[in-house]
Structure 1
Amino acid sequence: MITSVTLRAAATATAPALVLRPWCADDVVALVEASPDPGLRSEDDGLRWVRAQERGWAAGVRFGFAVLEPGPGPSSPARLVGNVVLKEVAPGKAAAEVGYWTAAEARGRGVAPRALEALTTWSLDAFRADGLERLELLHQVDNPASCRVAAKCGYAYDRTLACAPPAFPLDGHLHVRRAAS
C-alpha cells in the first residue's frame, strides 16, 4: 500500500521546478485562496476537502497531490499552484482517471502539463503490477485549455461523451493515455 510519495516536475526556461506531495491540513488556507471550486470558499470547506484527500490515500483509491513551486526567495515558503489527482484506482482494474486544476495566477506557465506528466509517469509505474493499463482524462467540451494539456501529455482524444446533468451539464471529451508496452 502506498502511504505517501513526493513527485517532482522539472523546471523550464521560464518556470521553476514543481513539487507534488499529498495534501495536508497546513494547505487549507492556500487551497481556499487558489481553488477554482465554488464549494471551497471557507476554511471549514477546505479542511473537509483535505481530509477527504487523506482518506483517499489511506484507502488506496484516490491519490491527490498539492502542486507547489518554490517561493521567490531562498527562505520563502512554497506556493500552491495547483492540484493533480489519480482516482478510481483498484487492483485488477485496467483504467483509472486523472484530474487537475491550476491556480489562476499560475496559468500559462506549464504547471498543468508538467504536473500531469509527473502524475502520469508515477501512476503507470506504481500501479502497473495491479493491472493499470490506461489513464483517462475527462473535461467539458468548453475547456480547450484541457484539450491542449491532454495533447501535450500524450493523452489522445478518444470520444465525446454526452452530458449527464446536473453533475455534467455539458458534453465532455474523453482523452486516454495507455501504458507503454
Structure 2
Amino acid sequence: MTVTLRVEATATAGGLVLRPWLPDDADAVIEAYSDPDIARWTTSPMKTSEDALRWLERQWEGGETGKQFSFAVCEAQLDGGYGTLLCDVSLRWGDDGREIGEVGYWTLAHARGQGVAPRALEALSTWAFDAFAGDGLRRLQLIHQIDNLASCRVAEETGYRLDRILPAYPPYPRDGHVHVRDAV
C-alpha cells in the first residue's frame, strides 16, 4: 500500500507531506543517524550508503508486506510537491494482529522545535485509526527511553498518555515509557 498524507499549514507552521521513502533519501538517512541526538536513541548505526540503502529497503518491504508503514516527512510546496526532509514517522505491527500498533519517529536537527514531530505524528495516528479500524485497531503505543524528554513531550502533545514504565531490556540500557492513544 502506497500512501501519501498532507498536513495543512497553520498560522505558525508550513504544511507537511508524509510520503514514501525514495532512493534519493539515502544521504538524509545517513545525516539523521549521524546526529548524536538521534544516534543516542537508536540501536542501528548508519554510516554508509549501503547502510542507508538497507534501511530504506526495510521501509519499502514493510509497506509491501503491510507490517510497517514508514513516511518521510517533508515541507509541503505550493505546487503540491514536497521540499526539504524534516522527519520520519512510522507505524508497525507486532506478530499478534492489528489491534495494537506502535508508532515511532525521529526529527532532523534543522527541523526540531518547530512542531514538526507532533504534527506528523498526529497525521499518522489519525490516518492509522481510520485506515485500520476495520482490522480492529484499538490502540497505538509510543515507546521511548525514560530520559528522552523530547519524545515524552511529543507523546503528550499528540494525546498519547503515559501508560506504564517498561523495564530496561537489551539492547535498551534504560527504563522506558509506554504512552498509549486509544481509538475514539
Query: TM above 0.5, one fold?
Result: yes
How far apart are residue 12 of structure 1 and its match? 2.6
**Which whole-Å deviations, capped at 9, do the CAs of 1:91-124 have from their partners, x for residues lacking one?**
8431010000100110000000000000000001
Structure 1 CA distance for aligned equivalents of residues 119 and 113 of structure 2:
12
1:56 paired residue number? 62
Segments of 5+ residues of structure 2 without an aligned counterpart are none
Structure 1 range deviating more: 167-176 or 32-41? 32-41
Q: Could you tell me the percent identity over the aligned residues?
A: 52
Q: Describe how 1:53-92 pairs up with structure 2 within 5 A.
A: 53-70=59-76, 78-88=83-93, 92=97
Q: Provide the secondary structure at the position in 1 that maps to 2:101.
A: strand
Alpha-carbon distance between aligned partners in 2 of 1:50 and 1:93, rounded to the nearest angstrom: 23
Kindly report which structure 2 residues correspond to 1:38-49, keeping only aligned pairs within 5 A, or say none: 39-49=45-55
1:131-150 to 2 correspondences below 5 Å? 131-150=136-155
Question: Is 39-48 or 125-134 further displaced after alignment?
Answer: 39-48
Q: Tell me, in whole angstroms, the C-alpha distance in 1 between the residues paired with 2:82 and 2:100.
A: 36
Secondary structure in 2 aligned to 1:164?
Answer: coil
Give the count of matched residue pairs.
175
- Residue aligning to 1:18: 16
Question: Which residue of 92, 99, 113 maps to 1:94?
Answer: 99
**TM-fit CA distance, 1:88:** 1.2
Runs of 4+ residues deviating >4 angstroms: 89-92
Instruction: Say if 2:17 and 2:82, in contact at 8 Å, map to a contact too.
Output: no
CA RMSD of aligned residues (A): 2.0
Alignment check: 8 A CA contact 1:99 1:137 kept: yes
